[in-house]
Structure 1
Amino acid sequence: MESNIQKGIILKSLGGFYYVDTGSEIIECRARGLFRKQSIKPLVGDRCRIRITEEDSTMGYIEEIFERSNEIIRPPVANVEQAIIVFSVKKPNPNFKLLDKFLIQAELNNIQAVICINKIDLDEREANRIKELYEKAGYSVILTSKMMQESLDGLKEILKGKISVFAGPSGVGKSTMVNIIEEGLDLKTGEISRKLNRGKHTTRHAEIFRLSFGGWVVDTAGFSNLNLEGVDRYNLKEYFIEFKEYNDCRFTSCNHYKEPDCGVKEAVENGEISRERYDSYVELYKELISGGRK
C-alpha cells in the first residue's frame, strides 16, 4: 500500500487526534506508538512529518516530530516566538506578581514578551502608569481596548509573521481581542464572575489559528496561578532584567534581599528601579524560600 509523506504543523490536539496543517489541507492524524515509548508527546505548534495512506486520504499518522526551538509547559505549546501577556487594567484588577511570573516564564523559554494592558477605556490613566512602569523595566507594552479600533490595529502589527501565544488570567479579554482582529474565528469568551471577580475558564485546549494578515496565534485557557519551574531563589534575580544594570553590590552573590550595601536596593531608593517591581521580586523570593507553596 503506497503512502504520501508530507510536512506540517500541529494546529490542535483533541481526544488523542492531532490536526496537522500541511499548507494545502488539514489532516486528522494519530501519533505512532513509538512516541509513547520514547516519552514524547506531540504538542500544538510542533512541526512534523506525517504519512497519509492512499487507502484513507483523510487520516494520517505522525511519523516524526522535528526539533523544537522551545516548549511551554503551561500551556503545552511548542515553537512559540512571542508571548502576548494580557492583563486588564480593571475587571479583574491586575495581579502584578502573576504578571511577573509570566515574564519569568517567557525569559526561561527565550520567548519575546509583549505586555498587553487591556480594557484601557475603564481607566486610561492607570493603564499609562502600568505601561510606564514596565517600559522602564525594559519590556514592550501596548495598550488595548475593544472600544478603540486603532489600539487593536497596533496589536495586529505585533502579531504579523510570528507564532504568538496569548497568556494571562481568565477574564482579561484574550479571546475577545482575537475574535475582533480575526473575524470568523468565533473563539469562546467567558463572563467575569461578579462574586469572585475572576473569569471562568472557557478555552479547554491549546489550538493554533492561522491569521489572515500573517502569522499564527495560540488560543489557550486562562490562568489564576503559575509555578516557577526552573527558577530558584538564587537565580530569580537573573529574570528581573532591570536588576542587571545595578549589580554593584558588596557581595558578588548578593540576592538583593537582606544583604547590606546592595546596588539594586539603592536603585530602588533612588527611583531608578520601580518599587512595585522590587516588592514583587521580594514576594517571589520568599515564595521560593518556602518551597513555592504560596
Structure 2
Amino acid sequence: MTELAEGTVISLIAGYYDVETSAGLVRTRARGVFRKTKEKPQVGDRVKIKLDDQGLAYLVEIMPRKNRIGRPAVANVDHVLLVISAVEPDFSLQLLDRFLTFFAWQGVDVAIYLSKSDLVQVDRLAEIKDQLAYYQKIGYPVYLSRDVLAEELPGAIGQERIWTLAGQSGAGKSTLLNFIKADANQATGAISTSLNRGRHTTRRVELFKLGAGFLADTPGFSAIDLTPIKLNELCGYFAEFKRLAGGCKFRGCQHLKEPKCAVKEALEAGEIAQSRYDDYLAMRTEISEGRIPEYLK
C-alpha cells in the first residue's frame, strides 16, 4: 500500500470519512485497528490515509489532538465563535459566562456574536450592548453586525485553523453560517416558545472551508457541565481575575474573603462587573456540589 496523504476530517457520513487533503477531497473508510484501540476519528482530526490496490482509501492514523469539544465533537478547535441571541432565547449573562468559562478551561479563544438584535426592543438592545462592552473591555472580540462579521471572519481564520460556531440551540448559528457561506445550506428551525429554546436543527458536525481554514457548525448545547473543573483553578478561567491575581497578597488567592485581594478591590471599585463575580460564586457552588443546577438543565 502507498501512503496517499495527510489531511483533515471534514465530515462523517454513514461510516465514511471525508478528508480534505492538499490534493483535494478524499472519501475514506477507517481501518479496523480503531475498533481494537477504541479510538474513533472525529471531525477536525488530522489524519493519515492510504490507498489500497483497488484504489480505495483508508484512514489509518489519527494525529495527536490538541482538544476535543462538544457532542458530537470537533477536534483541534483553535477558536470559537460564540453566538448569543438577544431574544428567543433571551439574552443571558449567566449563560454567556458559563460558555466563556467552559472554553477558557478548554484552552480555546472566543469571539462573541450577538444574534437577533433586530428582534429586540431598542431600550433592551441598548442595555445588552452596554453589558457586552464590558466583555470587549476584558479582551473578547464582540460582533454586533453580521455584515462586519462576514467581512472580517474569512481573513481571521488562518491556514488550516479550525473555528467552530457554538451557542445555545435556537440562537441562530446555522442561519449565520448560511449568511457567511451561502453554499453551506444548513437547515434552520423554529423556536419552541414554551421552552424558550430552539429545536436542534444541526444533526451532525461538518467543517466548511472558509478563508485559509475551516468553520464548523455543531448542534447547540443544552447544558454546559463545569463540574470537571478543579475548584481552585476556576478563578484562572475568568480573564480579568487572572490578570489581577498577581496583585493579590496570597498566592493561589480564590478571591473570596482573603485580605488584600486585588480582585475584590477591583470589584468594589466597579472595575469588575458584579454579575461576573456573582456567576463565579455560583460556579464554585456548582463545582463543589458536583452537579449542574436543575434550572440550567
TM-score > 0.5, shorter chain as reference: yes
Q: Secondary structure at the match of 1:99?
A: helix
Partner of 2:145 in structure 1?
144
Identity between Structure 1 and Structure 2 (%): 39
- Is residue 91 of structure 2 the alignment partner of residue 94 of structure 1? yes
- Is residue 60 of structure 2 the alignment partner of residue 63 of structure 1? yes
Deviation of 1:251 after TM superposition, in Å, equals 4.2
Q: 2:115 aligns with which of 115, 118, 134?
A: 118
Partner amino acid, structure 1, of 2:44: G
CA distance in 2, matches of 1:164, 1:224: 20
Deviation of 1:25 after TM superposition, in Å, equals 3.7
Partner of 1:202 in structure 2?
201
Deviation of 1:119 after TM superposition, in Å, equals 2.1
Partner amino acid, structure 1, of 2:213: G
Q: Secondary structure at the match of 2:200?
A: coil
Partner of 2:42 in structure 1?
43
Q: 1:239 aligns with which of 237, 247, 262?
A: 237
Structure ranking higher in helix proportion: 2
Q: Secondary structure at the match of 2:186?
A: coil
Classify 1:274/1:286 alpha carbon distance in 2 versus 1 (closer, same or farther; 3 Å).
same
Partner amino acid, structure 2, of 1:12: S
Partner amino acid, structure 1, of 2:100: L
Partner amino acid, structure 1, of 2:203: R
Deviation of 1:236 after TM superposition, in Å, equals 0.4
CA distance in 1, matches of 2:205, 2:36: 24
Per-residue deviation, residues 264-286 of structure 1 (Å, max 9, x unmatched): 22211211111111111111111
Q: Secondary structure at the match of 2:19?
A: strand
Q: Secondary structure at the match of 2:232?
A: coil
Q: How does 1:243-258 map to 2 (within 5 A)?
A: 243-247=241-245, 248-249=247-248, 251-258=250-257
Partner of 2:134 in structure 1?
133
Classify 1:241/1:167 alpha carbon distance in 2 versus 1 (closer, same or farther; 3 Å).
same
- Is residue 105 of structure 2 the alignment partner of residue 108 of structure 1? yes
Partner of 2:15 in structure 1?
16
Q: Secondary structure at the match of 1:21?
A: strand
Deviation of 1:23 after TM superposition, in Å, equals 3.6
CA distance in 1, matches of 2:88, 2:22: 40
Partner of 2:156 in structure 1?
158
Partner amino acid, structure 1, of 2:131: I
Q: Secondary structure at the match of 2:38?
A: coil
Per-residue deviation, residues 163-189 of structure 1 (Å, max 9, x unmatched): 101111011111111101111210111
- Is residue 222 of structure 2 the alignment partner of residue 221 of structure 1? no
Q: Secondary structure at the match of 1:180?
A: helix
State whether residues 79 and 163 of structure 2, in contact with CA within 8 Å, keep that contact through their aligned partners in structure 1.
yes
Partner of 2:192 in structure 1?
193
CA distance in 1, matches of 2:249, 2:142: 34
Q: Secondary structure at the match of 1:254?
A: coil
For structure 1, the 5+ residue unaligned runs are: none
CA distance in 2, matches of 1:20, 1:154: 26
Q: Select between 117-126 and 215-224 the one with higher mean Cα deviation.
A: 117-126
Deviation of 1:219 after TM superposition, in Å, equals 1.0
Deviation of 1:151 after TM superposition, in Å, equals 4.7
Q: Secondary structure at the match of 1:234?
A: helix
Aligned residues between the structures: 287
TM-score (norm 1): 0.88
Q: Secondary structure at the match of 2:182?
A: coil
State whether residues 89 and 126 of structure 1, in contact with CA within 8 Å, keep that contact through their aligned partners in structure 2.
no
CA distance in 2, matches of 1:127, 1:6: 48
State whether residues 66 and 76 of structure 2, in contact with CA within 8 Å, keep that contact through their aligned partners in structure 1.
yes
Q: Pairwise CA RMSD of aligned residues?
A: 2.2
State whether residues 88 and 119 of structure 1, in contact with CA within 8 Å, keep that contact through their aligned partners in structure 2.
yes
Partner amino acid, structure 1, of 2:4: I
CA distance in 2, matches of 1:63, 1:239: 36
CA distance in 1, matches of 2:128, 2:151: 18
TM-score (norm 2): 0.87
Q: Select between 136-145 and 166-175 the one with higher mean Cα deviation.
A: 136-145
